[in-house]
Amino acid sequence: MATLNDYLLISGLLFSIGLAGVVLRRNIIIVFMCLELMLSAANLTLVAFSRFNVADNGLPDPSGQMLVFFVITVAAAEVAVGLAIIVALYRARQTIHTDELVSLKG
């Protein structure tokens, strides 16, 4: 059986990889994907906690999984809006490289 530490370590690694992608990559779509990776890492911790710290009746605590459900739904809404912004940005500037997007008003 994997212990809670294993799950936390794995999700911390996933979060670190996502953070590295956000900091290092210049393509705004990849940055966006890495944000999703970080959200998923948080989801993994939540589900692990819900399984390891069971509710009073001995079943996995559904409250942790509820938060994961809400996070996934909000992430879906966020992706839709974010990608619409990226498309609008690309129409205005013809680039999605963060190095070339340096002014607030074009």
Partner 1 sequence: MSLLLFWLFATIMLIGAVAVIAFRNPVSSALAMVTSFVGLAALFIGLSAFFVGVIQILVYSGAIMVLFLFIIMLLDLKDEKRRSDSLAPLAAGLVLVAVFFIQLVGVLSHKLPYQTAPPLDKAVFAAAADGYKEGKDKVPTKISKSLESGQLPDIHLIGRTLFTEYNLPLQILGVLLLVSTVGVVTLSRKSAAND
Confirm or reject binding of residue 42 to partner 1 (CB under 8 A): no
Chain centroid to Cα 88, Å, comes to 22
97 three-class SS: strand
Confirm or reject binding of residue 93 to partner 1 (CB under 8 A): no
Q: How far is the CB of 103 from partner 1 (least distance, A)?
A: 17
Nearest-CA neighbor of 67 among 80, 86, 84, 48? Answer: 48
Q: How far is the CB of 28 from partner 1 (least distance, A)?
A: 10
Q: How far is the CB of 88 from partner 1 (least distance, A)?
A: 4
Nearest-CA neighbor of 75 among 35, 45, 28? Answer: 35
User: How far apart (Å, rounded) are the C-alpha atoms in residues 29 and 27?
Assistant: 6
Residues 47 to 86: which contact partner 1 by CB under 8 A? 47-54, 57-60, 62-63, 65-66, 68-70, 72-81, 83-86
Nearer of residues 92 and 105 to partner 1, judged by Cβ: 92
Q: Within 13 Å of residue 86, how many CA atoms lie on the same side as its CB?
A: 16
Confirm or reject binding of residue 101 to partner 1 (CB under 8 A): no
Confirm or reject binding of residue 98 to partner 1 (CB under 8 A): no
